[in-house]
Amino acid sequence: MSTNVFDILWIIISAALVLFMQAGFLCLETGLTRSKNNINVAMKNTVDFAVSMMGFWAAGYALMFGGSWLGLIGAEGFFLRGIETPMGLVFFLFQALFCSTAVTVVSGAVAERLSFAAYVGLSMLVAMLIYPLFGHWAWNGLGGEAMGGWLGKAGFVDWAGSSVVHSVGGWVSLATLLIIGPRAGRFNEDGSVNEISGANLPLSALGALILWFGWLGFNGGSTLTLEPAIAGIVANTCLAAAAGSVFALAIGWVRDGTPHVMPVINGLLAGLVAITANCHAVSPGAAVLIGGLGGAVAMGLDWLLLRYRIDDAVGAIPVHLGGGIWGTVAVALFGQPELLGTGLDWVGQLKIQLTGVVACFGAAFVLPLGLLLVLSRIAPLRVSPEVERIGLNIAEHGARTETFDFFQVMESQARSGDLSLRAVADPFTETGQIAARYNQVMDHLETAVARTQAIVATSADAIFVADPADHAILSHNPVAESLFGLAGVDFEGRPLDALLPGLLIPGADGAEGTREVIALRGDASRFPAELTLARAASPAGELLIATVRDITERRRAESALRESESRFRTIFNTAGLGMAVIDAERRLLDVNPALARILLGREEVSRTELIGRDLGPLVHPADHPMMVRAVLAKITHPDSAEQNLEVRFRLPDGVTIWASVVLNPIRLERFSDRPLCIAILEDITERKRTREALRLSAMVFESTNEPIIVFNASGQVEQVNQALLKALGYKTREVRGLELPHFCSARYDRTFYEEVAKAVDDNGRWHGEVLARRKSDEVLPVWLSLSEVRDAEGQRTNTIAVLSDLSERKQREETVWRHANFDQTTGLPNRRLFLDRLSQAVAQAERSGEKLGLFFLDLDRFKAVNDTLGHRAGDALLGETARRLSRVVRASDTVARIHGDEFTVILQHLSRSEELSSVAETIIHTLAQPFDLEEGEANVSTSIGIAIYPDDGATPEDLLRHADAALYHAKEQGRANYQYFTQELNLKLARRNALETELRRALAGGELFVLYQPQVRIDDGRIASAEALLRWRQADGTMVPPDEFIPLAEESGLIHALGEYVLARVVEDLGVLEKAGLGHLDLAVNVSPRQFHAKVGLEATIERALGEAGLSPRHLVVEITETGIMADEEQSLAILKRLDAHGIRVALDDFGKGYSSLSRLKNLPIQVLKLDREFIAGIPADHRDCALATAMVRMARDLAIDVVAEGVETQAQFDFLKDLGCTKIQGYLISRPIELAALIDLTHAATTNE
């Protein structure tokens, strides 16, 4: 045998699992036997394990595994002599547990009738002779080099003991049962079988699962080594168990029509037994079939045993004998020869397996049967019938049970008739719970007898017991004496007729019942009475029971009731509330006119339309169950609390109304035969609607996110919502009685609040932007809306204040404004803000009479830095340049970045012009110092052009143009220097004048023409409009860029003529488009700020051009820049309103580059907003451009303004704008500017392609 420590450990673990199987057998067998024997069964399970272990130690192991004598029996190793190695000892332990398993199989089969002494002897016999004998034949030499037993040598295979363990136990069980016979009452004379239920089937199921778990060690440990094959053995074991359980369940279910637990348990165990012989040598599929057929064999053998009146208490024989035989034969049928290792073909293997089955029959059935027959003649094996009746727990072990004690109490009570005797009841046992219920029955019976006696003695009615033959009074209760005024002796023998004159006693076949009679007292006075006669049987014969009740008060009450009913009828018919009398079947027995008007929905009604109808169909289906329950409850429990309901009713016209319903019991003489209730209805439909409206208003008030304050007529806080408390940081009690100024910034004076109050008085409302004040004195911008509430007389009762937080919107506006007015790279003012500040500086210098200096500078060799170190280094250089410039000038001066590497500096409050030279030299010196960048060192210089107000120009435009000319001159002088503007530079201005002259000639000579850039709807990709763009081709074919001649035209005033020219061409082209079938296209024409603000109204110019062409303005769009509108906001607003009134749409061009606030935009009547290409260029890479574009598009969408993005050149920009919800796009991605004919062709082509 192996000496490997892991092998030894594996066998020890497997032995522990097999030992755990003993717990499974104990749970299984005690659960399947009756409670009066379960202690005996548990005792036998425990003792047989100990006895078999000792017997196997003393002799069984030697006989089984000792040196073989002729292959029949072992002859050495008694008391484990010579077994000293660890592997030898653990092998003994493993086999001893197998032996105990075989013995335990017998315990369950013979349970509840075999005496304890006989079972101990039988256990010794199996452990010391029967099991070792067959075990020697099959397994001797197991774990050694060669098998010693004759069966093993011949090739018999039984891996873990389907025959050696289980069939042996099964055969011995069968032999024993044939001798001791079935349990008392198991079989009837006619051959039918009485079911004997176990005490605890869940415990048995637990035992089966424990056995399944332990079986893994039973089969897996039989390898005797720790090897990979164990995985297949364990898997096959589990599959066979599951298959056996399923097969047996299916068979039992089909057979009985009901799933029972026993087929599941026995099928599971039979599958385990069957796979035990072959689990090492079959496939998983074969394991399923072997296990399933094992379950089927067990079911069949169980049926066969009952047929031959063999009583197996737990089904041990079908499971262990049937499963064992089948598993042994299955070795040959399913075993893989290479894994069996016997060298036999399947026929030869089948022969030796059948031989083993027969040998097991001889050793485990024939031999023990003979020995048990002899022993049964010497001493009885079975307990006596009396012992079997009272149970082996008491008879053999003296273990009294609660059931036994309970039966003794019942027998004593039956003998004595003492109703006060009680059984001991343990609440934690089933018997104790039964005893408790029995005690409760006795308590109720004893109470009922005492109560009956008390009722008779204390009844308010006179009760007589008389002889039905002569009507003589036999007995009476005490009330009879007081009611009739007679002593007790006066009643004895007196006939009932003497007390009840004229009474006709019904005969034996007469009707018994209740009637009203006149009774006679002892003093001859008479009184009305209610008589009830009944007959009762007694051991002494039939008795007549007469009950007499004085109904004098009832008669008075009935009279009063009739009077009350008359008054009720008067009230019922004249009441303003609806009333109905309802019975238990929900029928309307009577209704008043008011109810008829309510439920029929009209004034002219007849009560007969409702009387007799079922109440149910009148009630709304949702309220029907509630109404029915309420009516029945009030009728059946008239003393219950008053029922108040709110119920919906359906009128004949389909209208649903709400009614308040009050239910009360009522008694009416004409309906005295049935219980009634009266329902009083009030139509509360309008009240419900008002209440619901108030509830919804309160819900909206509390759940809205907008802070709301309700002021009373005195202007003090009456109510606020949670949003207000959260926004301003107050608690409810802190705001009571406060006034509006307390919630606003202290900057607002009394005049402001008076103006607000006047606006509310005049218009009923006021709204505007204010700074609200939190409890902490922080301020936040809000949009305050005030609305007054007046009552029916027109008096103000409340003022409602709604505060909309503008903080986020202000932040967005600030972000947009900064982006539009500050350079993102340097943080300096951009060109637009610079021009604004320059205009302000010029105006201030003009007022103060001071000089003003303007520097225009750019960086020399900046392009080289970009080319060598990259654009990131270039941006860093620009940022550092901005910081250096800001350091060398005063805080009151303005440094701005105009474009690229161009900067400007505005120097105000100059006392003399020479100061500029010092500043210029400092700037040149400062910027000449090396720039230490992350990418490396950079060296640049700067050239500066200087213009002085008012010497070199009186307007910002002149100053900037002259400073630019001076800068150009400085660059011509070798750079890194500064130059003042001089008259010599006017020559350059002259050249600009020449260009102006050529532009005038071009305007008259036809050198100007219009191109169109398509605008595509982003949702469907169709061309919806186009922007008209003016171009100039000189006579020699040279194209003059628009950014050269358009600013010149603005400065020279030619912009008006250019604008009219373009407008005329666009109107003419609109007509061409209409004739080409493209009348749906819009054409947008750019209008300069000067043209927009011209004295001659722009709308009049457009109307005239359209009128001459006979066209409407619906397809013409006017584009004006944001800065052009904001130059004079008030005038622009008036112009925009006039354009809107004439049906001319306006597009706000280059939006985002100006400095208008978003709050102003909402007041402008514009229909289209164009995002400047400067923002689009950075999308989607620059998150700041994305954020700004998102804010502007969302804002425009909220204001119902279409958005056109210009300068779209990439698909990524297109996708971002589409996701953002932009309306249209324009740019090189779609098309460059093209002539009208090309636009027509492109539009037609796009339509055809669709």
pLDDT for the residue numbered 1218: 93
Structural domain boundaries enclosing 254: 5-188+198-386
Residues 9 and 126 in one domain: yes
Question: Is 405 part of any domain?
Answer: no
- Is beta strand 1224-1226 parallel, antiparallel or unpaired with respect to 1008-1017? antiparallel
Least Cα distance to 1155 among 924, 719, 858, 831 occurs for 831
Residues of the chain with pLDDT > 90, as a percent, come to: 42
* Mutual angle of helices 1055-1075 and 1042-1052, in 10-degree steps: 120
Residues 532 and 578 in one domain: no
465: CATH: 3.30.450.20
Tally of CB atoms within 10 A around 1160: 13
Residues in the chain where the model's pLDDT stays below 50: 507-511, 1155, 1157
Which residue type is seen at 733? R
pLDDT for the residue numbered 686: 84
Question: Is 438 part of any domain?
Answer: no
Distance CA 1015, CA 407 (A): 104
Residues 678 and 627 in one domain: yes
pLDDT for the residue numbered 1018: 93
Q: Can you tell me whether residue 271 is helix, strand or coil?
A: helix
Q: Tell me how far CA of residue 525 lies from CA of 239, 522, 548, in angstroms.
A: 96, 7, 16
Which residue type is seen at 462? A
Tally of CB atoms within 10 A around 46: 14
Least Cα distance to 1028 among 734, 1236, 735, 754 occurs for 1236
Residues 75 and 222 in one domain: yes
Final residue before a domain boundary, out of 386, 409, 430: 386
Residue 1028's H or E segment, with its range, is strand 1023-1033
Final residue before a domain boundary, out of 621, 654, 684: 684
Residue written as tokens 């029916």?
Answer: 792
Question: Is 555 part of any domain?
Answer: no
Distance CA 163, CA 354 (A): 11
Question: Is 1089 part of any domain?
Answer: yes
User: Residue 701's Cα: distance from chain center in Å?
Assistant: 29
Query: Tokens representing 896?
Result: 């701005």
pLDDT for the residue numbered 511: 47
Beta-bridged to residue 1151, according to DSSP, are 1171
* Rg of the chain taking only CA atoms, in angstroms: 57
Residues 1065 and 1120 in one domain: yes
Number of domain units in the chain = 6
Question: Is 453 part of any domain?
Answer: no
Q: Tell me how far CA of residue 770 lies from CA of 739, 759, 811, 1156, in angstroms.
A: 15, 15, 16, 19
Tally of CB atoms within 10 A around 322: 29
Distance CA 735, CA 723 (A): 13
Q: Tell me how far CA of residue 442 lies from CA of 417, 433, 446, in angstroms.
A: 12, 14, 6
Least Cα distance to 1092 among 1078, 1102, 1079 occurs for 1102
Residues 967 and 1020 in one domain: no
Distance CA 234, CA 381 (A): 40
Distance CA 320, CA 139 (A): 19
Residues 351 and 479 in one domain: no
Degrees to nearest 5, angle at CA 1172 with 1168 and 1174:
165
Contact of 722 with 705, CB cutoff 8 Å: no
Q: Which residues make Cβ contacts (< 8 Å) with residue 1106, sequence separation at least 6? A: 1067, 1112, 1113, 1116
Distance CA 160, CA 60 (A): 18
650: left (phi over 0), alpha (psi -120 to 50) or beta: beta
- Is beta strand 796-805 parallel, antiparallel or unpaired with respect to 779-790? antiparallel
Query: Tokens representing 1098?
Result: 């722009």
Three-state SS annotation for 6-53? HHHHHHHHHHHHHHHHHHHHHHHHHHHCCCCCHHHHHHHHHHHHHHHH
Question: Is 393 part of any domain?
Answer: no
Distance CA 771, CA 755 (A): 16
Whether this prediction's pTM lies above 0.95 is answered by no
pLDDT for the residue numbered 507: 46
846: CATH: 3.30.70.270
Question: Is 1181 part of any domain?
Answer: yes
Final residue before a domain boundary, out of 955, 980, 1005: 980
Question: Is 208 part of any domain?
Answer: yes
Give the model confidence (pLDDT) of 458-513 as tens digits: 777 888 888 887 888 888 888 888 888 888 778 888 888 888 876 655 543 444 78
Residues 851 and 717 in one domain: no
Residue written as tokens 């701005």?
Answer: 896
pLDDT for the residue numbered 689: 80
Tally of CB atoms within 10 A around 91: 22
Least Cα distance to 372 among 95, 129, 680 occurs for 129
pLDDT for the residue numbered 1071: 93
Residues 679 and 709 in one domain: no
* Mutual angle of helices 1098-1109 and 1129-1141, in 10-degree steps: 20
Residues 473 and 571 in one domain: no
Contact of 210 with 20, CB cutoff 8 Å: yes
Distance CA 807, CA 454 (A): 86
Residue written as tokens 């197991």?
Answer: 142
End-to-end C-alpha distance for the chain, whole angstroms: 88
pLDDT for the residue numbered 989: 63
Give the model confidence (pLDDT) of 111-126 as tens digits: 889 988 889 999 999 9
Distance CA 394, CA 383 (A): 12
3-state DSSP helix/strand/coil % of the chain, to nearest 5: 55, 20, 25
Least Cα distance to 262 among 254, 253, 273 occurs for 253
Q: Tell me how far CA of residue 855 lies from CA of 396, 518, 836, 885, in angstroms.
A: 124, 135, 16, 11
Give 905: exposed, middle or buried? Use CB within 10 Å, 0-12, 13-18, 19+: buried
Least Cα distance to 290 among 232, 347, 241 occurs for 241
Tally of CB atoms within 10 A around 646: 13
Contact of 1125 with 1132, CB cutoff 8 Å: yes
Residues 965 and 1085 in one domain: no
- Is beta strand 588-591 parallel, antiparallel or unpaired with respect to 514-520? unpaired
Residues 350 and 265 in one domain: yes
Residue 333's H or E segment, with its range, is helix 323-334
pLDDT for the residue numbered 404: 62
